[in-house]
Structure 1
Amino acid sequence: MGKADKVILMDEEVNRIITLCGKDWAKIGTEFIFLGGKAECENCKIKKACLRLREGAKYKIVGLRDGAVQDCPLHDEGVVAVEVVELPIIALVDSKIAVEGTKFHYEEKKCDIFNCSMYSLCHPVELNNGETVVVEKVIGDAPEQCQKGYSVVVAELRRVEN
C-alpha cells in the first residue's frame, strides 16, 4: 500500500493515509488536529511515518493496522500504525461564493466580536489566510444573523493543493 490509498467509505471516495499515533488513543473514530513535529522528533528513525500529515488539519482514525508497537519519545505507551482521513472544514462562507465546486483563497473575516457564537465558524483553526479551498457542500444558513452584517452560509470546505 502507498502513502494514500483511495477507498470507498460511506459511498464517497476518500484518501486513507497510513501514519502512526499514540497506542493509548489509537481507536477507530478518534479525531485530532495534527500540530506538527516536536524537537524530540528530529532524530527519530520513524518520523517520516508520523510527520506525513498536514499541520493544522483535522483527521479521524478510520482503521487500525497490524504491527508492532514502536518506541516514541513523546508517547509513553509507544505508537502504532493507523489509517486516517482528513476531515472537511466546516466554516462560514460569503453567500456570494458559496456554490458547490467554487474554488477560492480563504481570507479571515475582519471581526473583533470574539464572544460571537459564530466566531469559530468564521475563523476555523484548520485554515490559514491564503490557502486554496473548494466548496464541497453548502450545508445551510448561518445559525444566526452576523453581527457585522456579513451575508454568510455554513459550508463544507476542502483544501486544494496549490
Structure 2
Amino acid sequence: MAETKTKVTLVGTVLAKPGIEFVYEGESSECGTCKVKKACNNLIRGHRYRIVTIRSTHHECAVHLNGATAVEVMEAPVSMLISADMAMVNSKIKVEFSCNKTDCRSYPLCRPDGVVEGEKYMVTDVLGNASDICSKGRSLKLVEIKPV
C-alpha cells in the first residue's frame, strides 16, 4: 500500500491531540493580518483530516482559545454509502450526491462531512452491504474512501 503523506499545519491548541479528526472549513475573517495564516490555511477546504503528531511550535491566535499548535495531519478516510456497482477496492470514483432526503436515517452516510461533491476518491475498503437501509430502494454498499 502507498505511503501516507502528512502535512504540517496549525490547529487550536485545545484540539491538538493525536487521533482527533476535523473537516477543514477554510480561512476565518480573523486571520486577515496574522503572520502565520499560510501555515494554518494550507489544507483543502471540505476535506477530513486526522492529527497524527503534535509538534512543540505554538503561536498566539485570534481565532483559537489558548493559541494554535503545529501538528502533522493526514487526510482521513471517510465512510460513505455508494452505488453497489462502484464499490470495488482500489477503484476511483467521482462523488455525486444523488439523494437529498434530509429526513432519511442514512443521509449522513450518503452525504458525509469531509467529502466534496465532484471530486475523485479511491475506495479503500468495502465495509458491507447496505441496500436494506436506503429508503429509495437503491442498491448501496458502505465503503471507506480517501481523496485521490
Moved >4 Å (runs of 4+): none
Rate the CA distance shift 1:62–1:120 in 2: closer, same or farther, 3 A.
same
Instruction: Tell me which moved more, 27-36 or 90-99.
Output: 27-36
Q: CA deviation at 1:55?
A: 1.1
Question: Within 2, Cα distance between the matches of 1:34 and 1:47?
Answer: 14
Q: Distance in 2 between matches of 1:111 and 1:72?
A: 38
Quote the residue 2:55 is aligned against.
Answer: 65
Counterpart contact for 1:111–1:148, Cα < 8 Å: no
TM-score normalised by structure 2 residue count: 0.90
Q: Residues 10-159 of structure 1 correspond to what in structure 2 (within 5 A)?
A: 13-67=3-57, 69-112=58-101, 114-142=102-130, 144-159=132-147
Q: Which sits farther off after the overlay, 90-99 or 27-36? A: 27-36
Over the matched positions of the two proteins, sequence identity in percent amounts to: 36
RMSD between aligned alpha carbons? 1.8
With CA pairs under 8 Å and 6+ residues apart, which has the higher RCO, 1 or 2? Answer: 2
Counterpart Cα distance in 2 of 1:143 and 1:87: 25
Cα offset, 1:76, TM superposition? 3.0
Specify every segment of 5 or more residues in structure 1 that has no aligned partner in the other structure, as ranges: 1-10
Which runs of 5 or more structure 2 residues have no equivalent in the other structure?
Answer: none
Aligned residues: 148
- Contact persistence 2:93–2:121 (CA under 8 A): yes
> Relative to total residues, which structure has the larger helix share, 1 or 2?
2
